[in-house]
Amino acid sequence: MSAVMQDLKVPPQAGKAGGALKGAIRIEDVVKIYDPEGAAVMAVDHCSLDIPAGEICMIVGPSGCGKTTLLNAIAGFHSITSGKIYLDNELLCGPPEKPMAQPGADRIVVFQNGALFPWKSNIDNVAFGPMMQGKLSKKEIYEKARSIMADAGLSGTEHNFPGEVSSGLRRRVEIVRALMNEPKVLLFDEPYRALDSLTKSVMHEALLEIYYKNKVTIFFITHDLEEAIFLGHRLVIMTSRPCKPKKIIDVDIPHPRDYSVLTSTRYRQLMDETVELVHEEAKKAFSAGEKEG
Amino acid sequence: MISKRLTKSLFSRSNLRAVIAIFVFLVLWEVGSRSKDWFGFPMPWVGHVPPPTAVLVAWYGLLGDPGYWQSWYMSTLRVLAGFLAAMVIGIPLGLFMAVNKTFHGIVFPSFEVLRPIPPLAWVPASIIFWPTQELSIAFVTFLGAFFTIVINVLGGAKSIDPRFFQSAQSMGSSQWDVFRRVVLPATLPSIVVGSAVGMGITWEVVVAAEMISGGGGTTGSGGGLGFFIWNSYVGGSYEQIVVGMISIGIAGFVCSELLRKLGGYLTPWLRKR
């Protein structure tokens, strides 16, 4: 227990196979310039970031600052203009030879408003990835899906459609669907943005619970500082567009955490330290937006 | 238990209201049609329409007439032929236009020029194009459903949330998997809507085409419900005109209802909860 209780800046060994954790991301000097009709817009500006395997890395920045561009580059949905991104020392993308990463089951995105297939039942959604990859038999996949859903408190909703359960449960189904692929990295794109704050607090604890069972690297985009400090090992505060790390802050509150963290002095101190930094960037983004408008 | 629920639903407030409304409508119609005999002057418009009782009597007489049923059969056959052809050609065409930009670029402009032409404007041309009158009526019926189905399928497939493609790809789906497990189910609601609307148009079109082209048969009674109405008009049998009209109403309603049921069955995730 004491091993778990200490700060997980250097995460412990994975439970299974005894090997080192996988899922370290290295972002090296990445630049992304959007060029719609010749008007070059720089979204990401020489961004470098090292995320050790098994870390919860919270990317905090104002809306529209280019955080999602970075996430899309890692996921393989968009190209980058220059720089390199590695996963476990393997090159994901690096122009000119490889401007775009290949999307893969080792990096699964949990989207902003959720991207569960509404035409598939919850368990069919959860089983989708392994069915596509075809490594296991159908029976094995559904057995695994049932047990992993039960673990996440989703028993009884297997045969409902996503549209038939609450938005909180839906998010949980989506995280479980992502985990079924045994990814090295989970990429969260403001997944709890549309949830009310009470549901959000429940979702945060549920996410940590799932994380303690499956230590994957988490790249989590948010503009909610409370969420960022509560969940993260580290906060990466981004500048407004073009985006690059402005300051990286270690959250030295030991894991496992629960919601009592929010009333601790350390949490208050971290909040005080960061709120000014974030506010500054938000103001910049706001006035830049006004100029464009 | 079940019979109780059935009775309850049959005698529900909205059903009762519908029955009363139809009954009042029929009474007003009856009174209006007989106004000349009863009050000495015909009511405007309804005064020249045969009363519902006379229509019912004419209908009863027709129930034993194989010609009447032949008309049903002919029209239904043409609608089904045109509609099925429109589905078989229209759905793949719409889907392919949605997924392939080059194909879309080549086909869509001509499609958009042809789409606003009313199907009935095609009647003379299709009589010239097609060897038999039967084929030309089926072709015009086909056009009625075709454009609606294509435009619905295309719109539905193009508005699929790109995140569905991205997550399917991340989870290891091939191009074919994405098409079969994302594009098809996501477009299904639009296919259902397009088909239901298209089905309505085929009934409108088939009747008009039968009237114009003479029903495809040389004998008076073999030419479909449209020809049945036209023939009744020419023969001065006004009750039969109304019988024909109501028959088409029933046929269109049944077809739409069947499609709606089938659509609900195919898209269970959209069912009202």
pLDDT, one tens digit per residue, over A223-241 is 888 899 999 999 999 888 7
Tell me the residue length of chain A: 293
B163 neighbors A116 (Cβ within 8 angstroms): no
Tell me the residue length of chain B: 273
Q: What is the structure's pLDDT at B110?
A: 94
Whether residues B105 and B195 fall in one domain? yes
Asked if the structure places residue A29 within a domain, the reply is no
Q: For position B161, which CATH number holds? A: 1.10.3720.10
Whether residues B15 and B124 fall in one domain? no
What Rg value do the Cα atoms of chain B yield, rounded?
23
Contacts of A101 (CB under 8 A, 6+ apart): A73, A74, A75, A76, A85, A92, A93, A107
Give me the number of domains chain B comprises.
2
Distance from CA of B151 to the nearest CA of A (A): 22
Provide the terminal-to-terminal Cα distance of chain B, rounded to the nearest Å: 22
Distance from CA of A110 to the nearest CA of B (A): 9
Taking Cα atoms as reference points, which of B193, B44, B205, B56 lies closest to residue B121? Answer: B205
Question: How does the average pLDDT of chain A come out, rounded?
Answer: 85
Whether residues B151 and B92 fall in one domain? yes
Torsions phi, psi for A93 (to 5 deg): -150, 150
Structural domain that includes position B34: 1-49
Torsion of CA B43, B49, B52, B57, to 10 degrees: 140
Taking Cα atoms as reference points, which of B99, B58, B257, B173 lies closest to residue A103? Answer: B173
- Per-residue confidence band for A132, with pLDDT thresholds at 50, 70 and 90: very high
Is the pLDDT higher at A274 or at A289? A274
Chain B, residues 42-61, CB within 8 A of chain A, namely none
Q: How many CB pairs (< 8 A) connect A and B?
A: 59
Separation of alpha carbons B217 and A92, rounded Å:
70
SS3 A26: strand
Average the pLDDT over each of A99-108, B4-13, B135-144, B190-199 and give the range with the smallest value.
B4-13
Structural domain that includes position A168: 120-182
Whether residues B124 and B9 fall in one domain? no
Q: Looking at residues B69-85, what average pLDDT do you find?
A: 92
SS3 A12: coil
Whether residues B14 and B113 fall in one domain? no
Asked if the structure places residue A36 within a domain, the reply is no
Give me the number of domains chain A comprises.
1
Whether residues B74 and B159 fall in one domain? yes
**0.95 surpassed by complex ipTM:** no
Q: Do A108 and B186 touch (CB under 8 A)?
A: no
Whether residues B59 and B34 fall in one domain? no
Whether residues B45 and B57 fall in one domain? no
Nearest C-alpha in B relative to A113: B163
Nearest C-alpha in A relative to B185: A119
- Per-residue confidence band for A287, with pLDDT thresholds at 50, 70 and 90: confident
CA angle in degrees (0–180, nearest 5) for B247-B253-B258: 130
For residue A252, give both structure tokens. Answer: 């030295």
Q: Do B269 and A129 touch (CB under 8 A)?
A: no
The closest CB to that of B269, out of A108, A115, A161, belongs to A161
Asked if the structure places residue A214 within a domain, the reply is no
Whether residues B4 and B17 fall in one domain? yes
Interval B210-243: pLDDT, tens? 887 765 454 443 478 888 888 888 888 888 999 9
Whether residues B98 and B225 fall in one domain? yes
A57 neighbors A232 (Cβ within 8 angstroms): yes
Alpha carbon distances (Å) from A192 to A112, A117, A200, B62, B120: 7, 18, 6, 66, 54
Asked if the structure places residue A175 within a domain, the reply is yes
Whether residues B151 and B205 fall in one domain? yes
SS3 content of chain B, % helix, strand, coil (to 5): 85, 0, 15
Whether residues B225 and B103 fall in one domain? yes
Torsions phi, psi for A104 (to 5 deg): -155, 165
